[in-house]
Amino acid sequence: MKFSEDLSRLEIHRSRSKTARAICGSIAFVFVGIWFASGALVEARGYLTVYIGWVAIAFGATLAVFYAARLFAGDPVVVVLSPSGFSDNRAFSGVIAWQSVGALGHLGQNPPVNIRVPLLPGTDPKPPSNWAGRVWSGITANRSSRAVTIMTAELDISAAELAYLLKRYAREFGVHEDQV
């Protein structure tokens, strides 16, 4: 992906194709659950497979509805990078200023799916206003060090591209050269 030289404001969207693939996977999960619940494996595996099938149907259908709602009704803008800072509406509310970001050198060339952005002491991001975001930020919070986790699996850019952009914005708008 080629990025422009203009660093005014960059909105990173949720990938519609990755969400559609998640819906297809959820529907496949429902069909496997129907096969289990129909009793096709009772003689070979016992009646437990029927109960597992019903659980799989409920779980797969719930996931399919969740992803469909996210595809059609969710906010497509997930991460915003701007000269004032960055925001991720899934992990925290508000904007974290670039001056509050710690050393970004550890992101590397091939970062994992979750990118942890270290924060300087005294920076405390507010949890998001929605319940799913509060749960996610509670799960990903690192109590031993101040950091914000940005999950890149559902974004329309790769983790390496996001790491590049984070370093570029931080270098340009506030992090000292020895920290980047």
Q: Are residues 81 and 163 in the same domain?
A: yes
- The answer to whether residue 134 sits within a structural domain is yes
Q: Are residues 88 and 146 in the same domain?
A: yes
- The answer to whether residue 179 sits within a structural domain is no
Which of 73, 91, 113 delimits the end of a domain?
73
State the residue range of the domain holding 151.
Answer: 76-173
Q: Are residues 40 and 92 in the same domain?
A: no
Predicted confidence at residue 22, as pLDDT, reads: 92
Q: Are residues 169 and 137 in the same domain?
A: yes
Residues 21-61 have pLDDT tens digits of 999 999 999 999 999 888 877 767 778 888 999 999 999 99
**Partners of 147 in beta bridges:** 118
Q: Are residues 82 and 160 in the same domain?
A: yes
The region of weakest confidence among 10-14, 67-71, 173-177 is 173-177
- The answer to whether residue 112 sits within a structural domain is yes
- The answer to whether residue 54 sits within a structural domain is yes
- The answer to whether residue 4 sits within a structural domain is no
Q: Are residues 149 and 67 in the same domain?
A: no
For the record, the structure tokens of 19 come out as: 């969400």
> Domain tally for the chain?
2
The whole-model pTM stands at: 0.70
pLDDT at position 151 over 90: no
d(CA 89, CA 93): 6
Q: What is the 3-state secondary structure (H, E, C) of the chain?
A: CCCCCCCCCEEEEECHHHHHHHHHHHHHHHHHHHHHHCCCCHHHHCCHHHHHHHHHHHHHHHHHHHHHHHHHHCCCEEEEEECCEEEECCCCECCEEHHHECCCHHHCCCCCCEEEEEECCCCCCECCCCHHHHHHHHHHCCCCCCEEEEECCCECCCHHHHHHHHHHHHHHHCCCCCCC
- The answer to whether residue 7 sits within a structural domain is no
Residues 76-130 have pLDDT tens digits of 888 899 888 888 887 777 888 888 887 776 665 555 777 888 888 777 676 666 6
For the record, the structure tokens of 132 come out as: 């799913």
Q: Are residues 80 and 169 in the same domain?
A: yes
Average pLDDT over residues 161-177: 79
Q: Is 11 exposed, middle or buried (0-12, 13-18, 19+ CB in 10 A)?
A: exposed
Q: Are residues 43 and 55 in the same domain?
A: yes
- The answer to whether residue 2 sits within a structural domain is no
Q: Is 152 exposed, middle or buried (0-12, 13-18, 19+ CB in 10 A)?
A: buried
